[in-house]
Amino acid sequence: MNLARAGYKTLLLEAGDDESADPESQILAWARAVGISESLSWSFWSRHYDDDELEKKYLHLTWRLQNGDLMGWAWKRRPRRRRDARSSVPPRRYAWRLLNLSGRWTD
């Protein structure tokens, strides 16, 4: 977000349907309380090596559980949700003023 504002070229990739009618996608405070909505999360798996033995040694190997969930190297499900994008907070105005005045983020 700040890179685009600063004039750098950025690329935004988004996949999925328009879920804007879902209240969970509109009210950020509900994001943690409501839980994981299947319509607002996604999981993926990728293979890194053709050799099965080498693939098993890969540090970030992801396993598919019997219920179909993907279990990664951190041993917890980590869906990517719209709240992740909204969780990034740009610096406050005083930080931008400080940068403009001094050329540094700290005084």
Same domain, 38 and 73: no
Q: 25, 82 in Cβ contact below 8 A?
A: yes
Q: Find the mean pLDDT for residues 77-103.
A: 59
Output the pLDDT for position 55.
Answer: 81
Give me the number of domains the chain comprises.
2
Output the pLDDT for position 52.
Answer: 86
pLDDT more than 70, % of the chain: 36
pLDDT more than 90, % of the chain: 0
Output the pLDDT for position 76.
Answer: 46
Same domain, 30 and 80: no
Residues in the chain: 107
Same domain, 39 and 52: no
Domain that holds residue 7: 1-44
Same domain, 57 and 100: yes
Which one has a higher pLDDT value, 76 or 104?
Answer: 104
Q: Is 62 exposed, middle or buried (0-12, 13-18, 19+ CB in 10 A)?
A: middle
Q: Is the pLDDT of residue 40 over 80?
A: no
Q: 89, 83 in Cβ contact below 8 A?
A: no
